[in-house]
Amino acid sequence: MRILVTGATGRVGGRVVQRLLEEPDGHQVFAVVRDRAAALPAGVEPVPADLTDPGSLGALRPADAAFLLFPSIAGDPAAPRVVSAVADSVRGAGGRIVYQSAHGADSAAGQGGIMGSHTLLEGLIRETGVPWTFLRSSGFAANTLGWADSIRATGTVRWPAADARRALIHEDDLAAVAVQSLTGAGDRTAAGGDQIATGDQTRTGTPGDRTPGGAAGRAASAPGQQHQAQPNQAQRNQALHLTGPEQLTQREYAEHIGEVIGRPVAYVELSQQQAMSELFAGLPESFARSIIDGQRAMIDNPEPVTDTVAELLGRPAQPFTRWVADHRAAFAG
């Protein structure tokens, strides 16, 4: 298969590229990069293009499937033309777009910020008529690498919303599901899947009692927005709710990093004003506020835990401690 991958030098997109290369079918991988000289694995063809500059998208290659990881907010003005170009690249082959979305995108219509950006992209992709799969994931475990400098220097995490409850996901699990969706390996004959009002099927797996308090994960799922997964349900035109296997507070995530690296890590909770000045200075204010507001919202409305990764991959989602072990050097120095 010919597969187009955006964000190919990032942690998620890069892992998608690597997993595609490891597939026995010998896929032809096109990596969308701003710089043709970007470091890519052998055998990957660079496609110089910038998703914030629609004029550069003429370089996109015809493909059988495309993995779209979009620059939220910064790229929104270009989104209609970008989605159209990506859809055109796969349309001739009857291919699909696999979009890296986020948990909550199905209920963020009319909102701004990062979540509103995901909602915008999902809507634009649907409008193309090209088959799609949305990976509505929980937060990336890799985002905690933003804590690494502070942990190495002072043994602390300086961040807002210590009690926000999250179900962070390993990028390798995301990439494994993305490759299933891109290659059609996850497609089966639909077996009685629920339909929601917009016509797409939403697969969440089984919310479990693996979270502190158990019912918290279930309570975070709004009625009518998430549905019990059915075995062998096709991934075509589906939104997959993907999470890590456990729900922890951000303070607990910091403590787990300390356990893995063998020294204590303290969480120093920042106010919104402190976070704006210390962490997000230089970023667009709307982008910074959307991050902080999203973090604070997860205190009362935590990210749920689902079994979708386990159901699709046939193994449990990887715990955060495994992710930290895989990236130990970044925190330990």
> Is residue 333 domain-resident?
no
Q: Are 255 and 119 within one domain?
A: no
> Over its length of 333 residues, how does the chain's per-residue pLDDT go in tens digits?
999 999 999 999 999 999 999 999 889 999 999 998 899 999 999 999 999 998 999 989 999 999 999 988 777 889 999 999 999 999 999 999 999 999 999 886 657 788 889 999 999 999 999 999 999 999 999 999 999 999 999 999 999 999 999 999 999 999 999 999 999 887 642 333 332 223 345 555 544 433 333 333 333 333 333 333 333 345 889 999 999 999 999 999 999 999 999 999 999 999 999 999 999 888 888 888 888 999 999 999 999 999 999 999 999 999 999 999 999 999 998
Q: Are 136 and 181 within one domain?
A: yes
Cα 3 from chain centroid (whole Å): 19
Cα–Cα distance, 71 to 57 (Å, whole number): 15
Phi-psi category of residue 46: left, alpha or beta, with phi > 0 → left and psi -120 to 50 → alpha: beta
Q: Are 59 and 181 within one domain?
A: yes
Q: Which is nearest to 309 in space by CA: 185, 178, 196? A: 178
> Is residue 211 domain-resident?
yes
Q: Are 111 and 216 within one domain?
A: yes
Q: Are 113 and 237 within one domain?
A: yes
Q: Are 188 and 290 within one domain?
A: no
> Is residue 10 domain-resident?
yes
Q: Are 81 and 210 within one domain?
A: yes
Domain count for the chain: 2
Helix (H, G, I), strand (E, B), or coil: what is residue 257? helix
Degrees (nearest 5) of the Cα angle 22, 72, 149? 75
Q: Are 106 and 84 within one domain?
A: yes
* CATH number of the domain to which 43 belongs: 3.40.50.720
> Is residue 99 domain-resident?
yes
Q: Are 261 and 312 within one domain?
A: no
Q: Are 210 and 263 within one domain?
A: no
Find the radius of gyration of the CA atoms of the chain: 19
* CATH number of the domain to which 262 belongs: 3.90.25.10
* Domain containing residue 132: 2-141+169-243+304-317
Q: Are 45 and 11 within one domain?
A: yes
Cα–Cα distance, 100 to 111 (Å, whole number): 18
Q: Are 114 and 179 within one domain?
A: yes
